Amino acid sequence: MTTLVIAEHDNAGLKGSTLNTVTAATQCGGDVHVLVAGSNAGTAAAEAAKIAGVSKVLHADAAHFADGLAENVAEQVLAVAAGYSHILAPATAYGKNILPRVAAKLDVSQISEITKVDAPDTFERPIYAGNAIATVQSTDAVKVITVRTTGFDAAAATGGSAAVETISAVADSGKSVFVSREVAKSDRPELTAAKIIVSGGRGMGSADAFKVLEPLADKLGAAMGASRAAVDAGFVPNDWQVGQTGKIVAPQLYIAVGISGAIQHLAGMKDSKTIVAINKDPEAPIFSVADYGIVGDLFEIVPQLVAELG
């Protein structure tokens, strides 16, 4: 029994989500191989070889892998799929784009966003916005799985010594063409990888009001996030959104400011290690998951917190 992990990377290096996916793969049992399909991605392949628990790295290098187009990467996965009992990818936009294609071509059912491995054929995954956990058993010969990274600790990035095997790259499928990418530049940590997140909700009232949170985030070295309500209101960019339809996060500290705690938002952050909620409504649902709650006017409380932090 051997598991294949599809590495998420930017050619220059691996994304942290790959480390969490490797942990899930090791829990499936057997050897763990990692596929790095990229363009001039030798550095990423070398990083993958150092991950603890990885026994082999498959490196496919071609120009048409440069931008991670799902059609091309999926074909590369299919080219090496024979002999693998499990094929895993992180439940990020990258993995969610690739694996459904792989599952369809293999004629198996995908198992999405697992948070626990009970047995090699049995997994747990959240349903109903995280209000229930489904235990899913698969009889398919190949288990095609996306991994919710917040459900698994990251594998050690060093300590491994896997062999890197260069494999033949599949031809360009020609089904899609990369046009452009708009990347939001920020000095703050990436939202899904941040250890501390300061999030604002509709209670902030306006886009300008979000500036009240910036000194707090700066003091803590935190990423900034938001609820869907704040994003839909146009207060902040879409890539700040935390929740079921946004980004799933589990930082060491999550500070929710002016967020009522709709079920869709809770589904995206309730696994945070420590949750602090600031809201003027003592009945706000966010307090049901908060470790610490402050009832009051956020425009008074947040500056006081900043002052206390010095």
Q: Quick one: pLDDT at residue 129?
A: 79
Q: pLDDT of 9-54, one tens digit each?
A: 999 999 999 999 999 999 999 999 999 999 999 999 999 999 999 9
| CATH 3.40.50.620-classified regions of the chain | 2-166
Distances (CA, A) of 4 to 11, 40, 81, 138, 288: 19, 21, 8, 17, 39
Q: Quick one: pLDDT at residue 183?
A: 72
Instruction: Give the dihedral of Cα atoms 235, 193, 99, 56; nearest 10 deg.
Output: 160
CATH no. for 191-309: 3.40.50.1220
Cβ atoms of 14 and 44 within 8 Å: the answer is: yes
| CATH 3.40.50.1220-classified regions of the chain | 191-309
Q: What is the DSSP letter of 107?
A: T
Q: Where are the alpha helices (DSSP H) in 58-166?
A: 70-80, 93-106
Residue 193 confidence (pLDDT) above 90: no
Q: Quick one: pLDDT at residue 282?
A: 95
| Token pair of 142 as six digits | 């190949």
Q: Quick one: pLDDT at residue 128?
A: 86
Amino acid at 224: M
Amino acid at 107: D
Q: pLDDT of 242-288, one tens digit each?
A: 998 899 999 999 999 999 999 999 999 998 999 999 999 999 999 99
Residue 123 confidence (pLDDT) above 80: yes
Cβ atoms of 65 and 124 within 8 Å: the answer is: no
- pTM value? 0.86
Average pLDDT score over residue span 130-145: 94
CA–CA dist 129, 126 (Å, integer): 7
Q: How confident is the model at residue 185 (pLDDT cuts 50, 70, 90)?
A: confident
Q: pLDDT of 45-96, one tens digit each?
A: 999 999 999 999 999 999 999 999 999 999 999 999 998 999 999 999 999 9
Level-2 CATH architecture, domain 2-166: 3-Layer(aba) Sandwich (3.40)
CA–CA dist 31, 171 (Å, integer): 28
Q: Quick one: pLDDT at residue 234?
A: 95
